[in-house]
Structure 1
């Protein structure tokens, strides 16, 4: 994996390590994507003196009777109601259990309260809690009980160590109204608390998402949804979580289709042996034996997060297959997650429709975040070798896809290389495999986006024509502040296509160009936004031709056999 593409480019708490042998004047970025949870109104409404005033925003129509109790919500005033709820509970490092009664998050007494985030580094501790298995439902006021509407469950990104349901741009009201569906935005245990149980139990966070799906199936009919029409959607590691659920047979009956935006598929799942090495190291860092539950219970959240950060910094030296960006991630344990869903093993039979998308400049935040100033061609090879190794670097240099001839700024081909290797090409490989084994896959590339707040300090991401990692989020949700005509038009289009996909499993919607599903030889990558120079409106394969990435030049999951 390209070294620079493994640094903090797609989530808030990716761990960075200096590139050996390189001297630059730049510093590595480690800026939170989700710097804080919006707690202003919820905290104020919990004050007795203001509680009665806040309660006045509630109306009878904002109360819904569910099989597990009365849900209270608040109206956004524009045609949607918001319901925050605790969907499951769990003690530290134990499997979560689905909620059996409707309860507001974090013991709140006012329905306007928003959930606290799950514990994570680089944020104020007052914004998170271990009691964080909550979600927010956004429901169009037009829906009535048992209307049979679809539900979209959004899983946030954050390299499995950061993020929340209240992250920037994740207000689902407009998306719910535009698609006439219920939009649920969930949280799951992050980092060590979600993936590093000292007793060796794996994938607790993945099991949290399974419980979120189970909870939704139970309650959405009361809000006008159908338990059999649930679609998963997520971005970056949220999309990686969905890929884990697609590889989990026991979860298959809980959702009908999936939307994966900017999944860094190149990394693959961890294998059991690598997880074991990381687990042993983590247990040593916290000073608790696998069986010492009393010791584990006494650990402060701060000490757990500190150990998690240290583990992340050291993971690639413990086992190179962890990489530098997502060393804590789902594990193919053979019990819950049973297949790699990649090119390293026979692909299973599939039948769910999936929608796979990337943005034009996935690696932009990494390359231009690390190197704010132009760099010369002499750095291309050492940067590549730091992660790709000598053999793969030679193949890349000898290919026609990343030609340095006439290039004055090596960041340009490095960004293209990072985008292709970590995101775009492995996504297209998945699409070919999926379509060849019984399922429909639709592939798209955003060439228009809206700068996500985390990218505001990266000059490249502010340039006209750049679409950096995360710049698709606010387009999909319809939360772009002061959208341009192009952004507004793409939001309307994508929400129309998502509405069609939720209902039919195809993103083809009236009034828009045909989006052709992938085949084993041509993924038909649909251009999203911009003005297409190709008659078909499709993005050319380039280096993502199956004879190059995944064959001549292997992905990381192939190199490490995970």
Structure 2
């Protein structure tokens, strides 16, 4: 057992046999309920004595993933109101060690996930000389619903509060607050894309890694107001913070999940605004797309998986039955002309079904092109593509959304990842991906050339025959989106 100090009080952690000490469930803000509901996070209350930090604490309230995703995407749920907490793994729990710090923001479409899932255990980062922090932030209505008289983006404000806590306290756990890297996947990466342009987050991290998410996913205020009105209608309440606060969580959480299913089944932009294509009724709220630009001052590592959208097509058995008419409708909704764009995508996939073509187009719209635009916006950024294909679902799952996570955390043996990666994932690939993330946190370079418009160098992880940098992969498909996305 090991004791470290924070500004709120001392915490007791547990040391493992491999030399890593963990501190779990440390509050970085006060419980966001009661009088604090739907407000910006408040500082945590101090305590006397030594607080036990050997077990995970409450996670932000959320409904479980709907089938079949509940069996594929790891998460956990722990009841309790003290959900604004974080977890630390360190190899040197003592002041003055000066180690780089990595702060993880989990994904989950802004309605699911937690930083306390075993899949996000930070031991491998600590093993390799990094202090790793994971955290819980408010989700769904509590984190992102637009409410009159209340601050928007409360989930992002939670993340900023956690980053401030890290700045003020992480030295006691062996970390250097001036060497902080924030990294996240999906909604976590989309959060970082917004944090890069928020004045409140300035100076809280030096580097950022964005996995399968960038700056393009947000709701304009008018769209967010429509979401609020519809959720209130479903619950039979007025669209006010007081009315939502009176709805019991066992009623509110299923209604949120039902709302997302409604958006996905009837993706009408006139009804849902940006959420109709983003497929997420709860997202950061901002007036327009904002890219950080050359003055960003943050080292960036950005990327996506080659076949992201297969996660949403294969387990649902839509990949090989999607009608050609649906493909054309969605390609049009993404802003492309099917007669011009689809021949470009078919050229590299002559035998592709409509579903396989949708995977390629939707992966670009959702993930690859936003990553490229962010890399183009900030000179010196590094770009990657994760291309290893899962053997699951008879090999059809491919290099889908979230598949890189067990490789990033070097947790190929974690049973919560088995349904996604199968029985014999390549450890050499985990060594390469995890090693690149650690190198970037320590030095600002993941080990390959920065992305420039002249070369467009992109590290391709897991491609045949081996991981290697590639110049402008699938250039013709990238150029389809010029002036569109």
Distance 2:117 2:474 in 1: 33
Q: 1:540 to 1:297 in 2, by over 3 A?
A: closer
Are 1:524 and 2:469 an aligned pair?
A: no
Q: 1:102 to 1:519 in 2, by over 3 A?
A: farther
Distance 1:212 1:525 in 2: 32
Are 1:112 and 2:63 an aligned pair?
A: no
Deviation, 1:418, is: 2.1
8 Å contact from structure 2 (residues 294, 377) kept in 1: no
Distance 2:412 2:145 in 1: 36
Counterpart secondary structure, 1:270: coil
The equivalent position to 1:184 in structure 2, one of 103, 116, 133, is 133
Are 1:441 and 2:373 an aligned pair?
A: no
Distance 1:119 1:519 in 2: 42
Distance 1:169 1:299 in 2: 32
Are 1:139 and 2:78 an aligned pair?
A: no
Q: Which residue of 2 aligns with 1:330?
A: 284
The equivalent position to 2:439 in structure 1, one of 494, 500, 505, is 500
The equivalent position to 1:366 in structure 2, one of 309, 312, 315, is 312
8 Å contact from structure 1 (residues 159, 236) kept in 2: yes
Higher mean C-alpha displacement, 122-131 vs 83-92: 122-131
Q: 1:403 to 1:113 in 2, by over 3 A?
A: same
Runs of 4+ in 1 over 6 A off after TM superposition: 123-126, 482-486
Q: How do residues 408-423 of structure 1 correspond to structure 2 at under 5 angstroms?
A: 409-423=353-367
Deviation, 1:66, is: 2.7
Higher relative contact order (CA 8 A, sep 6+): 1
Counterpart secondary structure, 2:400: coil
The equivalent position to 1:96 in structure 2, one of 25, 41, 60, is 41
1:394-440 deviations in Å (ceiling 9; x for gaps): 245454223498526333323222222211122112211222xxxx2
Distance 1:125 1:146 in 2: 34
Distance 1:275 1:532 in 2: 46
Q: 1:422 to 1:264 in 2, by over 3 A?
A: farther
1:447-503 deviations in Å (ceiling 9; x for gaps): 23678xxxx6x44456xxx32211111101111018989722222223332222112
1:9-64 deviations in Å (ceiling 9; x for gaps): xxxxxxxxxxxxxxxxxxxxxxxxxxxxxxxxxxxxxxxxxxxxxxxxxx2xx111
Distance 1:77 1:97 in 2: 37
8 Å contact from structure 2 (residues 9, 51) kept in 1: no
Q: Which residue of 2 aligns with 1:36?
A: none
Number of aligned residue pairs: 457
Q: 1:126 to 1:247 in 2, by over 3 A?
A: closer
The equivalent position to 2:298 in structure 1, one of 330, 343, 352, is 352
Counterpart secondary structure, 2:457: coil
Counterpart secondary structure, 1:136: strand
Deviation, 1:215, is: 0.8
Counterpart secondary structure, 2:188: helix
Q: 1:539 to 1:480 in 2, by over 3 A?
A: farther
8 Å contact from structure 2 (residues 21, 89) kept in 1: yes
For structure 1, which runs of at least 5 residues remain unmatched after alignment? 1-58, 334-338, 509-514, 556-562
Distance 2:439 2:342 in 1: 43
Distance 2:171 2:366 in 1: 39
Q: Which residue of 2 aligns with 1:225?
A: 175
8 Å contact from structure 2 (residues 214, 374) kept in 1: no
Counterpart secondary structure, 1:88: coil
Deviation, 1:120, is: 1.2
The equivalent position to 1:73 in structure 2, one of 7, 13, 18, is 13
Q: Which residue of 2 aligns with 1:491?
A: 430
Q: 1:524 to 1:125 in 2, by over 3 A?
A: closer
